[in-house]
Amino acid sequence: MTVKRIRRVLIAWEFGGGMGHATRLLKVALALRLAGFIPIVAAANPQTLKERYQQHKITLIKAPEAKTNWNNQQAFKATSYSDILGIGGFADKTTLKNRIEQWIDILKKYQPDLIIADYAPILTLACYDRLPVICFGDGFVVPHAQKGSFPRLRKDYPRVWSEEFLLENAISAMEPYTKTLPECLPDIIKGQSQVLSIIKELDIYGDSRDLAIGPLEKDVFPIPAAKKSHLCVYLSANHPSTSHILNIIAKHKLSADCLINGINVTAYKHWSSLGLNILLKPPSIKEILSNATACIHHGGINLSEESILAGRFQFILPKHFEQRLNANRMLSQINSCIVASRKDLDSAIIEDVLLSELSHPHNWSKPLEKAEQVSKRPSSMINLVTQVERLLY
């Protein structure tokens, strides 16, 4: 009798903010373990949700550190995913070679049979023609090729680096490890399969492809609307509008749960003294949305999607380019969100939005209609586990 060896799957993220990736990959790790695999998670920031990983006894390791190599005094403006690869290491041969060597050391130590790469392009390069890779994540981190190039995200700017230059660096870095070389830059992150964990309404490439099939999970969505106005506030402490919003909430004694990323002790004591409920540890998104009628946040992909799935009105204040892309996509696809432009970020406009838009019951029912529609779609988790089984067995 032949005993089937239990296969190891390395699930990794090396670029991007923490909460969305950490939450998504914990869910993936648990689903793969349930399916009979051994999951190992390599995280850019292992401190994000560390306690939850420990609670579930999921092996959690540190991914090689991703440092940007932008020394230009001008603001960095990515025109496509290729520029993001450039600033993340592909524009510098030495950086790229060092990071590949670090990943190869991890691969030798943990001996995975398959890689799930969520915004981990240097790992996919290290695995090129060596291990099966599933390129996984939201629309932004799983771009598709159009005539051998990445689709443009900004049409009014030239590319920061040419794709030919970045491809040349990638080939130079990987030549010692493989005889098969990519023909174009998108080939590097293509992998053996691509799985989106996003609904089509949030796929920024959704107008030119049809890969998104549904939410990662759909267990408790949509969530019935709360009967009284209550805000879910999830903002960065250093965003210029955060203090405006907290002041308005305190001034009008609005009901709210406030999770302020990066808040210091002094600020915590100040806002708490004004009667605000400042959360120091992030609860589950489902938990915080279950009591809310509207969500105020920066437009991160994870909270954006779960707010849609829960059926919550959204007020979005983007911090960076990816969040602006997410927000603009939502504006074109759903009728239950407001996106602040840079000129809208003054206290008078924010106060009007909080009091006239987010506090009125007639807006609470709109997003529930979209949530009902989306909840009928299949889960992308099923697709991901199926792809793992197909590639390994």
Cβ atoms within 10 Å, residue 301:
27
Q: Do the Cβ atoms of 239 and 320 come closer than 8 Å? A: no
pLDDT for position 335:
84
pLDDT at position 151 over 90: yes
CA dist., res. 22 & res. 9, Å (int): 16
Question: What rounded mean pLDDT belongs to the chain?
Answer: 89
Band the pLDDT of 265: cuts 50, 70, 90. Answer: very high
Confidence of residue 231 (pLDDT cuts 50, 70, 90): very high
The letter for the amino acid at 162 is: S
Mean pLDDT throughout 192-209?
89
Angle between helices 301-310 and 18-34 (to 10 degrees): 70
For residue 135, the 8-state DSSP code is E
Of the candidate ranges 38-42, 210-214, 281-285, 365-369, the one whose mean pLDDT is the lowest: 210-214
pLDDT for res 4: 64
pLDDT above 70 (res 3): no
Distance CA 38, CA 23 (A): 18
Residue bearing tokens 């005993």:
3
User: Nearest 10 degrees: CA dihedral of 348, 351, 353, 355?
Assistant: -140
Cα dihedral angle (198, 204, 206, 207), rounded to 10 degrees?
A: 170
231-374, superfamily in CATH?
Answer: Glycogen Phosphorylase B; (3.40.50.2000)
Does residue 106 have a pLDDT over 70? yes
Q: Boundaries of CATH 3.40.50.2000 in the chain? A: 8-218+378-392, 231-374
Least confident of 43-57, 65-79, 173-187, 319-333: 65-79
Query: What is the spatial distance between Cα 254 and Cα 293, in angstroms, rounded to a whole number?
Result: 12
In order, the DSSP letters of 67-97 are ------SSPP--SBHHHHHIIIIIT-HHHHH
The confidence score (pLDDT) of residue 56 equals 96
Total Cβ atoms within 10 A of residue 69 = 14
Report the length, in residues, of the chain. 393
Question: Which fold would CATH assign to domain 8-218+378-392?
Answer: Rossmann fold (3.40.50)
- Is the confidence at residue 349, as pLDDT, over 90? no
What's the average model confidence in pLDDT over 344-357?
81
What is the percent of the chain where pLDDT is above 70?
95
- pLDDT recorded at residue 220: 62
Q: Rounded mean pLDDT of 274-298? A: 88
Say yes or no to pLDDT of 160 above 80: yes
What residues are paired with 117 via a beta bridge?
12, 135
Q: Count other Cβ atoms within 10 Å, centred on residue 349.
A: 15
Q: In the prediction, which pLDDT does 225 show?
A: 75
Q: Show the CA angle centred on residue 297, arms to residues 242 and 319, nearest 5°.
A: 70
- The pLDDT tens digits for 10-36 are 999 998 766 778 888 999 999 999 999
Instruction: Read off the pLDDT of each residue in 175-195 and give the average, rounded to a whole number.
Output: 89
E strands, 214-332, are 231-236, 256-261, 277-279, 294-297, 313-316
Q: How many CA atoms lie within 13 A of 327 on its CB side?
A: 21
Is the pTM higher than 0.75? The answer reads yes
Given a cut of 50, whether residue 298 has pLDDT beyond it is yes
Beta bridge mates, 235: 260
Output the pLDDT for position 1.
45
Backbone φ and ψ of 199, nearest 5°: -80, 155
**Cis peptide upstream of residue 222 (ω within 30 degrees of 0):** yes
- Token duo for residue 69: 């190599």
What's residue 270's pLDDT?
97
Provide φ and ψ at 7, rounded to 5°. -90, 145
